Structure 1
Amino acid sequence: MGDMLGREVELDVTGIAHGGISVARLDGRVVFVSDTLPGETVRARVTDDRKKSFWRAETVSVVEASPHRREHVWSAASVDRSPEDRAGGAEFGHIELAHQRELKSQVVRDALTRTGGLDPDQATVRVEALPGDDERGGAGWRTRVRLHLDAEGRPGQYAARSHRVVHVADLPLATPEVAEAAPLGEAFPGEEHVDVLAPSTGGARLIIGKQAPSTVTEQVGERTFQLDDGGFWQVHRHAAETLTSAVQQMIDPARFEPGAANLDLYGGVGLLAAAVGDAFGSRVRITSVESDERATEHASENLADWLGASAVTARVDRWVRQAVAQATSAERDRSRAATVVLDPPRSGAGRPVVDGLADLAPAQVVYVACDPVALARDLALFRDRGYDVDALRAFDLFPSTHHVETVVRLIRR
């Protein structure tokens, strides 16, 4: 091994893998290759040949293009640039938008069947578009962008699969407000990054380095949410309202009990707890659990309309473990009647949280996931503890990238 590194090879691309990478074969060996799509023949440079089972490569040029290839939505990430100079963060930008969603559907289905153990018909899902994305060709949706700074403090984006800053002339995935505010030609010596954001109210702003947080207001339907300017909020301009209605529709009303010990785990500033409260009325009892103290402070204010809503600062795994250990029999009954909404980070909830939830034995779990493989691992854990997938939807919250959001309802057997 090791003698192929840097060599160029011709590859027939046959499939799509998780992470925005396509799959090819060379003399029987799997090669994971970037900047292409199934059905193409490409010349690619081998970037990693250390493993016996697979290699990694990046496309240098397209020999035979797929009918689904389009001109890249971002010239800075195009195959016309040498691989080390391509900006990261738009790894599906060379694929027609409808076909991007088709590939994402395949990735979700593969993860849920291979890792999650679901039947193929159960795992079949159509990735749904968000409003305006077809008209804008999968551009113009990001309300938040982080610009990384080079040694002189000049902003750019990380090159794909590296931490090297490449300079870019534009930010086509950003909303027009963010793109206009982005200080691409300026310099910020001594800083590491500049965040550019345009919340739904109050105009665009910059966060330079570690400056003290200020509060911004996001509007979702009729409701407003306060959060720190650097705090977590869904990036797509229509993501918060899309997930609000998806979670509301995913909760089975026949299994919902307003007075039960309902939970919103990894709750952030209370977006999904508010979705539950709005759907089921002011009598809803729900506890939102979030490890970020500033987010929890905002959640307490954002959830003030519901007398039974509260926000707790805690690590979710510890909070769940404690809830199991300290539950009285009355609390166990309230937990068994409960609906749990969880929206974990990319790495998923993991065994301690799944096991703890299974011990609380809620009537239904609505799981919002931004990583299909982590979701699939957790679904297998839930299945072992008596929970089955009852409904499934997927949303294209990140057009022109490989990311996809999935929302699943699990019910107790």
Structure 2
Amino acid sequence: MKVTYKTCCGVDVHKSFLVATIITTTGGIQPSYQKKRFSTFNNSILEFKHWLLENDCHDVCMESTGKYWVPVFNLLEDEINVTIANPKWVKAVKGNKDDTKDSKWIGDLFRLGLVKGRYIPCKKIRILREYTRYRYKLVSCRSSEKNRYQNALTVCNVALDSVVSDIFGKSSTSIIDYLLEQTDNSINHEEIASKLLRRLKSKEDAVIESIEGYQMTDPQKYRMRLVRAHMDYITAEINDVDREIEKLISSDPDYENAIQFLMTIPGVKRDSAITIISEIGIDMSQFCSSKRLCCWAGLVPGSNESGGKKKSVRITRAGVYLKPALVQCAHAAVKSEKSPYYKKKYESLMKRRGKKRAIVAIARMILTAIYQMLSTGEAWNPSDLYKIDMPEALLEKQKAKAIKQAMKLLQREGLYPPLEPIAS
């Protein structure tokens, strides 16, 4: 096999130490090996870096073991080309492996160009990504607390969620606060009616009926107050994270311009655009094509065929944070009446492939559009947009033209009688 890197290094990273093997190919295929072990403390990592430079090794490959590779990458990235490999592609055979053999195996694969590197964005994008992912976790945690709060109401025989559209709205919150303050399980109908706002006033009887006879003990009230306080705390944390995210974006005009650019796509709002930029960055040269980007995001069907039989071809599990954001944008895009491009596409796909596959297909279309926009700087303008957003008069004209051309074709083939000229 052809040697891609004459001098390279394979690294097996762990929490407290790393094992490195420098592989040097001088003459033939058979290389020479230098093995050494280092601690993962900063001084030791700098010694490892100095050892690499002494041996004229500027290409390093290591597997992405948890977060243990990050400190090593941070100290090496300025002077050394570091390739982060998926552990699935560099895993050694069981029964014949240890730390030293693993580093040698990674180096051998990398030397022959058999390891594909993961996409690692620049440091600014990595910091922004940390904030957006943390925000995603906070929002998920708040949703869990909301479900817990609503379940507590159900257990206490409060069916308010069957009447109101938002159990956490102003009217609902006032009513629940009133119930928590009561020493017994009785209610004053006039007090409840005074807490209803706007359209909910017309549902006064239904609201009172939904909470009449509720059963709420003091321990249950205390638990609900704890859940409410935790929800408020998480909301405050989300607001703080949002402010920090805006600071990071405002520090670089390119990020703000890219976000505003992506917001021209139907269904993509500011929060979604920030999440997308934090995951893929603004430099699309990292991906050789839009197909590669969609594959990296987990929006491409898998390939699993053996013996002429095709097995499951579901989309992969990649894009844990990017894929949900794109699917959310797709759901918003297919409901847009102002820009019905994706809506028409979705309706066409849904008839043949079902709702879920159609939504994933729309998400992939959006990501493909994002790739082209960030690569070329062109505004969102699909090549077949005119077929969907065409004015009614022009649409009728196009139909008449298509019918006329079809009739001429049938006449030439002798499948349709020629039209007789009208007598004057």
Point out the structure with the larger strand share: 1
Which of 1 and 2 has higher RCO (CA within 8 Å, sep 6+)? 1
TM-score tier, shorter chain, comes to under 0.3
Query: TM-score, structure 2 length as denominator?
Result: 0.23
TM score, norm. by length of structure 1: 0.24
Indicate the structure with greater helix content. 2
Higher-Rg structure is 2
